[in-house]
Amino acid sequence: METSKNQILDWPLMENNILDEDKEVLIDFLRKETRLTQAGQVEAFEKEWSEWLGVKRSVFVNSGSSANLITLAALREKYGPGEIIVPVLTWSSDIASVLHCGFEPVFVDIDARSLAMKEKGIMHAVTSRTRAVFVTHVLGYNGLTRGLLDFLEDNAIALIEDVCESHGASFEGRKLGTYGLMSNFSFYYAHHMSTVEGGMVSTDNEELYQMLRMFRSHGLVRESKDADYRRKFHEAYPDLNPEFIFAFPAYNVRSTEINAVLGRNQLRRLDSDIEKRNRNLKLFLSLLRPEKYRTGFNLEGCSNYALTLVLQEGFKDRVEKVTSLLAEQKVEFRRGCSGGGNQLRQPYLKRIYKDKYREYPEVEHIHFYGFYIGNFPGLASEKIEKLCALLNAIE
C-alpha cells in the first residue's frame, strides 16, 4: 500500500481481525450443529490453547475480565484473604477482581522499559499478608525478571500473570503465562487473536483447574472433571442432588461453541501474526527520533499488541501537538497506554485512595505523555514510515 504525502493515514486500532476464512469455518459449523452453548468445541479449543501455550490445563470463559475474576476467586478460596500486589498501569478488571474477591490491592510503580512493575518495588511491597503478585505484561512486553521469579519462589509467593495484551511473548525461552500459578488471556476484538469476546485461564495446578471450571459455571460440583473431587462433595452432602451441588458462591461466565470455533481457527495463524506485529513495532521504534520519543523498550521476547509512543521528559510540552497530529491524520490512539493510564486516578479507586496516585511518577508520565497506536498484521510499512516522519517533524 502506497501512502502519498497528502493522503490522510486513516489508521484504526484494529483492522481485519476476523477474516473471511474465519467466517466460512463458522458458517460451516452452524450448518451442521444445533448445540451452540459450551460443549465439544470449547473443550477442543482449551486443549489446543494449552498445547500452544505449554501448560496442562485451560478454562475458556466469556472475557479476559471474567478470567481475572475467577482466577482471584479461586485464589481466595484456596489461600484465604490478604494482599495482592498489583501495578498502577493495568486494565481496570485486574484491580477490580482483587477488590471483588475481598483482597487488598498493594500498588507498585512501573519500569520505563517494560511498562510492568519494578522488581525492587514488588520486593519492598511484600508482607506476611501477601497472597500473590499479579503481574501485567503490558502491550506485549515481558514483565518478568529472573530476580523476581527467584524471590517469589524463595518466599513461597504465588505469581498470577495477566497476559491479555501479550499472547506469545516469552521470557528465557518460555511463553509468558507458563510461569504463574494461573495466567489470564483475552480474545477481545483488538487483541492478538479474537473470539469476538472471550478469555482464558491457564494453569498447571490440577486442584485449581477443577475449581476454575466450577467457578465458571455457578460453582457446580458436576463441572469438575475429577471423579474423586466430586465424590467428596457427594459424600459430604448426601441430602443434595449430586447434579445440583453448588460448592462456591460463583458465576456464570461460560462462553459458546461459536466463540470457540473462531478461536480454534485463529490460533492456527497466531504465530505468523505475532511475527508481523513485532516487525511493525521494530520499524516504528527505529524511525522515531530518540531525543523526542522513548525508543529503548525491552524488545526481548516481545509480542507487540500496539505501537508504543511515549514522549521524552524534555519533549513533553509538545503533547498537544502530538495529539492534534494523530487526530488530523485520523490515527486512532489511546492515551495513557494500557487501561487509560494511572488506575489510581480512576473514580473506582480515587474514592478509596484519594491522592495516592501522586506516589507513582513513572505511571504519571505514561498517563499524560504516553499513547498507543493500533498494530495489526496488515499494517503497511509505508504508513508507519509516514507517521514517524510527521511525528519527528514536530518542533
Q: 150 is written with which cell numbers?
A: 527467584
In this predicted structure, the answer to whether residue 6 has a pLDDT above a threshold of 80 is no
Nearest to residue 329, comparing CAs of 383, 248, 253, 272?
Answer: 383
Q: Residue 271's pLDDT band (boundaries 50, 70, 90)?
A: very high
CATH architecture of 20-267: 3-Layer(aba) Sandwich (3.40)
DSSP string, 37-86: BSSHHHHHHHHHHHHHHT-SEEEEES-HHHHHHHHHHHHHHHH-S-EEEE
Range list of β-strands (E), 140-275: 158-162, 170-171, 174-175, 182-186, 199-203
Model pLDDT, residue 2: 47
| pLDDT tens column, 52-84 | 999 999 999 999 999 999 999 999 999 999 999
CATH class of segment(s) 270-392: alpha beta
The residue type of 310 is: V
Residue 189 neighbours by CB distance under 10 Å: 13
The C-alpha atoms of residue 280 and residue 216 are separated, in whole angstroms, by 37
Q: Which residues of 375-390 are buried (b: 16+ CB within 10 A; e: fewer)?
A: bbbebeeebbebbbeb
Helix (H) or strand (E) run with residue 133 in it: strand 130-136
Q: Residue 16's pLDDT band (boundaries 50, 70, 90)?
A: confident
In this predicted structure, the answer to whether residue 314 has a pLDDT above a threshold of 90 is yes
The C-alpha atoms of residue 267 and residue 46 are separated, in whole angstroms, by 11
- pTM listed for this prediction: 0.96
Alpha-carbon dihedral sign for residues 325, 9, 308, 355 = positive
Q: Residue 258's pLDDT band (boundaries 50, 70, 90)?
A: very high
The C-alpha atoms of residue 259 and residue 27 are separated, in whole angstroms, by 12
| pLDDT tens column, 318-371 | 999 999 999 999 999 999 999 999 999 999 999 999 999 999 999 999 999 999
Could you tell me whether strands 174-175 and 158-162 are parallel, antiparallel, or unpaired per DSSP bridges? unpaired
| pLDDT tens column, 131-184 | 999 999 999 999 999 999 999 999 999 999 999 999 999 999 999 999 999 999
Model pLDDT, residue 5: 60
Q: How far apart are the first and last CA of the chain?
A: 29
Would you say 7 and 384 are in contact if contact means Cβ atoms under 8 Å apart?
no
Q: Residue 4's pLDDT band (boundaries 50, 70, 90)?
A: low
Compute CA distances 360 → 27, 148, 311, whole Å.
Answer: 49, 20, 17
Please state the rounded mean pLDDT for residues 293-303.
98
Model pLDDT, residue 381: 98
Q: 381 is written with which cell numbers?
A: 510499512
Which residue(s) pair with 159 in the sheet?
A: 133
- Three-point CA angle 69, 75, 79, nearest 5°: 155
Helix (H) or strand (E) run with residue 309 in it: strand 306-310
Nearest to residue 9, comparing CAs of 341, 308, 386, 269?
Answer: 386
Q: How many CA atoms lie within 13 A of 102 on its CB side?
A: 9
The per-type count for the chain, helices as H runs and strands as E runs, is 14, 12
The overall average pLDDT reported for the chain is 97
Would you say 270 and 376 are in contact if contact means Cβ atoms under 8 Å apart?
no
Which residue(s) pair with 37 in the sheet?
A: 256
Q: Where do the domains of the chain lie?
A: 20-267, 270-392
| pLDDT tens column, 232-252 | 999 999 999 999 999 999 999
| pLDDT tens column, 83-112 | 999 999 999 999 999 999 999 999 999 999
**Rg (alpha carbons) of the chain, rounded to whole number:** 22
Q: How many CA atoms lie within 13 A of 175 on its CB side?
A: 23
